Structure 1
């Protein structure tokens, strides 16, 4: 099997192209795709507990901490003690962060609309069905069940 014919290669190559595309837009706003992703995952009204952001986005705590520090330095977010849990910190958007979040959202909407306009409803449904199946197989840890371990 050639690598170009494998599902994992297609997923990885496509995601890398999407990430590059988003990063090319983000750099125009003195940002990165990762920062935009964080902005989109912060509750714009109530903030989001810092401990919930990493798992919500599938990001390692070290990477997230570095991104949050940079975003705080740029004035996009601020930290506030969580009134419901004194041990926790809420990440909240500044007005500047909200503006950046709205811009990020427009790029995501534009991407999705452009892709959807090139596909049929059935193709879109099939795409989501395939990704759902892949995620289910991964979550069930059933992909490598038949490979013996030492």
Structure 2
């Protein structure tokens, strides 16, 4: 079956979301929790900025971070630059889980695109990056 651009991108998005959901479920995490850890994997971020990345309002963001904090995955600290702001970072346990999840997602995506040539992989990477950064 030939798909048009919209259908192809939407169907690809569904496949990736299902893949992320499966990996998250294996670690008792939702896709949003996986996204939270992914954002924090290489940085410390303020609650407001996290909410913007994830498209969540303040109360939803607070609940998400509180649940992750109770699991020992993230820690909150006051911002040294703004007494009202709170910064969120991964704990060592959160870092290990993030690394394991990232590796598993990578293996599954590699399997998903295994039938592509090296040139096709390079092209899809370039095109996806251009779309993401547009």
The normalised TM-score by structure 2 is 0.76
> Which residue of 1 is the match for residue 8 of structure 2?
10
Bigger drift between 72-81 and 127-136 goes to 127-136
**CA deviations over 1:102-124 (Å, ceiling 9, x no partner):** 11121132134334543223212
Q: Tell me: higher relative CO, structure 1 or 2? Use CA pairs within 8 A at least 6 residues apart.
A: 2
Q: 1:27, 1:132 → 2: CA distance?
A: 27
**Structure 1 residues without counterparts, runs of 5 or longer:** 140-150
The root-mean-square deviation of aligned C-alpha atoms, in Å, is: 2.7
Q: Does 1:81 align with 2:94?
A: no
Which one has a bigger Cα radius of gyration? 1
> Which residue of 2 is the match for residue 32 of structure 1?
30
Superposed displacement of residue 100, structure 1 = 1.3
Q: 1:122, 1:94 → 2: CA distance?
A: 38
Superposed displacement of residue 43, structure 1 = 4.7
> Which residue of 1 is the match for residue 110 of structure 2?
113
Q: Does 1:126 align with 2:123?
A: yes
**Structure 2 residues without counterparts, runs of 5 or longer:** none
The normalised TM-score by structure 1 is 0.70
Q: 2:40, 2:7 → 1: CA distance?
A: 31
Structure 1 residues 99 and 130, CA gap change in structure 2 (3 angstroms): closer
> What SS is found at the alignment partner of 2:77?
strand
Q: 1:52, 1:131 → 2: CA distance?
A: 24
